[in-house]
């Protein structure tokens, strides 16, 4: 897909294909949404959550940003897109599961590792990936062989920890009405690694 014409052609295929096959579902969704799962993923074009999980429209409330990051709870009057989406998902949609999903070859992770000496770092990317500073220093001190992969996993841990700083998230987790999970997708091999909540280790999901 290279041009606007390609997008319009794609829409027409969607309209005559997927939409036509699921027209009743789309009519129901036009009345509202009721997903049980919120997925926080990376904006990377290669890691499409609906494709990876074979999810139908309306089944996942998806938020995507650079490096699938969740900032800590900061009620300071600023513009907080991820926090607003989280609040809406937990308090209004009342999702039961939140999944933070990273992926291989993440540009946001690369930007964090190269600090300010990279074309990946820009006016807005630099302060955003500073959320990974502590994780990056920890990784560089312990994982010199493959820091990219290690920080992709540590970034997921950082977001999970930050999720728990939101009072409305912590309250529901402690009450047992909300689960938080982590996942990592290997684009090249199509492998999904799921975070074991007990061991906090990522394990390959059998295909």
SS3 22: coil
Beta strand segments in the chain, E: 37-42, 60-65, 97-103, 179-186, 191-195, 202-204
| 66 and 40 within one domain | yes
What range does the domain containing 98 cover? 33-204
DSSP for residue 89: I
Q: How confident is the model at residue 122, as a pLDDT?
A: 77
Is 44 annotated to bind a ligand? Reply is yes
What is the predicted pLDDT for the residue at 117? 63
Put simply, whether the predicted model's pTM sits higher than 0.85 gets the answer: yes
* Residue 123, domain CATH: 3.40.1050.10
On whether the CB atoms of residues 26 and 57 are closer than 8 A, the answer is yes
The series of mean pLDDT values per 10 residues for the chain, 207 residues long, is 95 94 95 97 96 96 98 91 98 98 96 75 88 95 90 98 98 98 96 95 94
36 is in an annotated binding site: no
Q: Are residues 79 and 12 in the same domain?
A: no
Indicate whether 140 and 187 sit together in one domain: yes
């Amino acid at each position: 897909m290279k041009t606007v014409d390609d997008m319009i052609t794609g829409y027409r295929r969607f309209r005559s294909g997927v939409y036509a096959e699921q027209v009743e579902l789309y009519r129901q969704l036009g009345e509202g949404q009721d997903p049980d799962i919120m997925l926080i993923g990376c904006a990377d074009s290669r890691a499409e959550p609906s494709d990876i999980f074979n999810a139908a429209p309306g089944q996942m409330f998806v938020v995507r940003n650079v490096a699938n990051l969740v900032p800590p709870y900061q009620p300071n009057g600023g513009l907080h897109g991820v926090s607003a989406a989280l609040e809406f998902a937990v308090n209004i949609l009342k999702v039961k599961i939140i999944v933070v999903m990273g992926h291989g070859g993440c540009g946001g992770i690369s930007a964090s590792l190269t600090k300010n000496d990279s074309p990946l770092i820009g006016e807005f990317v630099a302060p955003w990936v500073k959320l990974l500073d502590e994780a990056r220093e920890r990784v560089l001190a312990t994982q010199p062989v493959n820091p990219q992969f290690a920080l992709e996993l540590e970034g997921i841990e950082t977001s999970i920890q930050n999720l728990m700083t939101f009072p409305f998230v912590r309250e529901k987790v402690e009450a047992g009405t909300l689960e938080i999970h982590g996942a990592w997708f290997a684009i090249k091999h199509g492998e999904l690694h799921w975070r074991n909540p007990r061991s906090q280790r990522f394990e390959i999901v059998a295909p």
